[in-house]
Amino acid sequence: MKKTPLRNKLFTNLFVLPIVLSFIGVIFIFEASSVRSFSEFGDSFHYLKAQLVWVLLGISAMFVFALFDYHNLYYLAFFFMLGTILLLIVVLIPGIGHKVGGARRWVDLGFFNIQPTELAKFSVIIYLSSWFIHRERRRFFSFLVLMGVLMILIILQPDMGTGLIVFLLSIAIYYLAGIDLIYLFFLIPISAMGFYLLIKIAPYRLNRLMAFFDPSRDPLGITYHINQIMISLTNGGFFGRGLGASRQKYLFLPEAHTDSIFAIIAEEFGFIGGIVLIFIFILIGYSMYWVAVNAKDRYGKLLAGGIFVFFNLQSIINLSAMVNLIPLTGVPLPFLSYGGSNLLVSFSLIGILVSIAKKIKKT
């Protein structure tokens, strides 16, 4: 295939834009976390330094996977999934799993924490893409069992946002594999029943849903977070307050440096800044779509398609929650939100995409 400026540009975007976003994220993570960082650790630069380390590790992982022949992931898929399931079990063990804010989601390795649910997203893409290279109807039951095990282990933490991502990601790869879709209709009553049980087990989930429909319901309680986000977006106006001028970052906005970082960016750079950021995500998404469509083999198409769905799901869910189109779920914004595990997984998946794209360019 002859190389064209468009192909070269899309190929370059996969490398450049994620790195640019990650360093933009570092700036805003420092801004949004400096006060909290000082109050918690006596060091305003604590979260900044931690994120910089993860950015460098993530970029290194991207280069490793970019140089790695993605076909070899087929032979590693089982071990990725087995390791992920074991970590999802280990994180539930008191004394090993690190509990923060009522959720046991981190395994404390001493020098850093790892979040198994983020690794689950990576493993689901690699494993299901490898599994569905060959179309086999008999695999639907096994697919349900695997998905059920992952969902139960994730929800036990609890982590509904990641559970939703893993569920939709699994369905998307199943769809992309071209297997008979009639079987997916069996998931409708099962999913509805599961949602009902989750609400019965933990009534706070119903309160969150009701808060979504009525943000004024409990302004100092369950709706406090979304109301503070709305204040950030409103204060930003059209052009924003300017770099460093956010007021909500001073401990008003919960999780300002993690899930809510878009609200800080929009407050400082306004509607225009938010649109520019969304455009960058669209450009990255289009580059991913191009790789998925032009991949030279079925395995490459499934991998690239799964990665495309993963990034778009995370971006859409996070941004939709920021403008109250859906309830807040705790899903991070790729490359921008604070968090080492998600950043490492995101860069690794970009590296795999680059590996697939390189095969396209060579033909």
Q: Where are the domains of the chain?
A: 5-361
Greatest alpha-carbon span in the chain: 60
pLDDT tens sequence across 305-351: 999 999 999 999 999 988 888 887 778 899 999 888 899 999 999 99
| Residue 221, amino acid | G
Backbone angles phi, psi at 122, to 5 degrees: -60, -50
pLDDT tens digits, residue range 138-161? 677 788 888 888 988 888 887 778
C-alpha–C-alpha distance, residues 164 and 198, integer Å: 13
Q: Is 222 exposed, middle or buried (0-12, 13-18, 19+ CB in 10 A)?
A: middle
CA proximity to 336, closest of 288, 269, 290, 287: 269
Tokens 């020098």, residue located: 111
Helix (H, G, I), strand (E, B) or coil at 94: strand
With CA atoms as reference, report the closest residue to 24 among 333, 350, 349, 310.
333
The model's pLDDT over 189-214, given as tens digits with 9 standing for 90+, comes to 777 777 767 666 666 666 677 776 76
Confidence of residue 1 (pLDDT cuts 50, 70, 90): very low
Per DSSP, the three-state class of 332 is coil
Contact in structure between 105 and 149 (CB atoms under 8 Å): no
Asked whether 14 and 335 are in contact (CB, 8 A), the reply is no
Q: Strand 97-100 to strand 103-108: parallel, antiparallel, or no bridges (unpaired)? A: antiparallel
